[in-house]
Amino acid sequence: MKPSFLTLLVAGLLGIPALPAADLIEVEPGIVTADLMKRRSSEYDYDVPKPGTYELPVLQPAADGTVLGTNGAPVNLHDLMRGRVVVLSFIYTRCTDPKACMRATGVLSELQRLSRQIPGLADKLLLLTLSFDPAYDSPEVMARYGRVSLAYGNGAEWLFLTARDHKELTPLLTAYGQRVDKRKQADAHGPYYHPLRVYLIDPRQQVRNIYSFGLLDPRLVATDAQTLLMETTAPAR
């Protein structure tokens, strides 16, 4: 979308650096931002592929289970997921490892922001942050965590979830392959040891990609989500 003179002027007044016109995008009438999909960084120093030009094979079925929302209401994951592309991130709020949970939440925040600039994405993308520390991460704690994470109110919906207890949670973690171990010794990074995992799930509740550190480029996740939305037929299981 080519921004109008007026929007460029607004961008200029708001102090957005003078970028080439091609790198600006109008996310709403009157609101211009840099086209984040075109922004490289030293960590992700490449152009993202065009959505729909590649395949994302089915890795595994996305497991179902009962989780709790920030109001404490129980709900089945599949009821939340149905019909939408889902990005599911397992975290715990006591994690202080900058390369792990905070990182994942930061990327979901970025995805929510990106979803505003990609036409049709915000309505069809669901972001889920699910705690694997139900003893500490009560619905109230997840609500607080959500308040500081949600920044882009008109982007994709983002829900913050926890579980009633480990008994309900463990089968879910096992099915997704999200390993979580209680540390035997105190550690500044928090009481749990876990690999960073973020899952991309298609509208048929199948896992289509798994991201970790080094692959968790929000632009790639957004492109993958668009790729899934462009599929017209179900891929072979």
Partner 1 sequence: MVRLNTSAATTPVERLRINQHNPSFNSKSLMKTVSVNRFAGSRWSRAITLLGAALVATTPLFADETCTSPYMPKITGQEEFIYVWTLGVDGWGDGSDKVVTVDVKPGSPTYGQIVASASVGGRHEAHHGGFTDDRRELWVSGLDTSHIFIFDVATDPAKPRLKKTIKDFAKKTGVVGPHGFYALPGRMLVPGLSNAKDKGGRTAIVEYSNEGKHVATHWMPTDARPQGAHIEKMADGYGYDARVLPRKNVMLSASFTGWKNYMRPFGELVQDAEAMQHFGQTMTLWNFHTRQPKKVFHVPGAPLEIRWAWGPKHNYAFTATALTSKLWLVFEDARGEWQASEVGHIGPEGSGVLPVDISVSADDRLLFVSCFGDGKVRVFDVSNPHRPKQIYEETIGRQVNMVSQSWDGKRIYFTTSLLANWDKQGDDNEQFLKAYEWNGQELKHQFTVDFRDQRVGRPHMMHFGSASLYQ
Backbone angles phi, psi at 172, to 5 degrees: -70, -45
Cβ closer to partner 1: 2 or 154? 154
Cβ(81)–Cβ(125) under 8 Å? Answer: no
**Min dist. Cβ of residue 172 to partner 1 (A):** 15
Nearest distance in Å: CB 21, partner 1: 18
Find the angle CA(212)-CA(126)-CA(101) to the nearest 5 degrees: 35
Q: Which lies closer to partner 1 via its Cβ, residue 135 or residue 206? A: 206
**Inter-residue contact 113 to 74 (CB < 8 Å):** no
What the block records as the tokens of 185 is: 């010794």
Q: Residue 135 Cβ, how far from partner 1 at the closest point, in Å?
A: 19
Give the C-alpha separation, 193 to 83, whole Å: 33
For partner 1, give the closer residue by CB, 5 or 55: 55
Q: CB nearer to partner 1: give 135 or 212.
A: 212
Q: Pick from 187, 214, 212, 188: which is nearest to 199 by CA?
A: 212
SS3 category, 61 = strand
C-beta of 49 vs 119, nearer to partner 1: 49
Q: Which is nearer to partner 1, 152 or 168 (CB)?
A: 152
| Residue recorded with tokens 């715990």 | 92
Q: Is 21 exposed, middle or buried (0-12, 13-18, 19+ CB in 10 A)?
A: exposed
Work out how close the CB of 50 gets to partner 1 at its nearest, in angstroms, rounded to a whole number: 9
Min dist. Cβ of residue 165 to partner 1 (A) = 18
Min separation Cβ 106 and partner 1, Å: 3
For residue 31, how far is the Cα from the chain centroid? 23
Q: How far is the CB of 75 from partner 1 (least distance, A)?
A: 4
* For partner 1, the closer CB: 159 or 167: 159
Q: Long-range contact list for 71-78, CB < 8 A, 24+ apart?
A: 71/139, 72/139, 74/164, 77/128, 77/172, 78/205
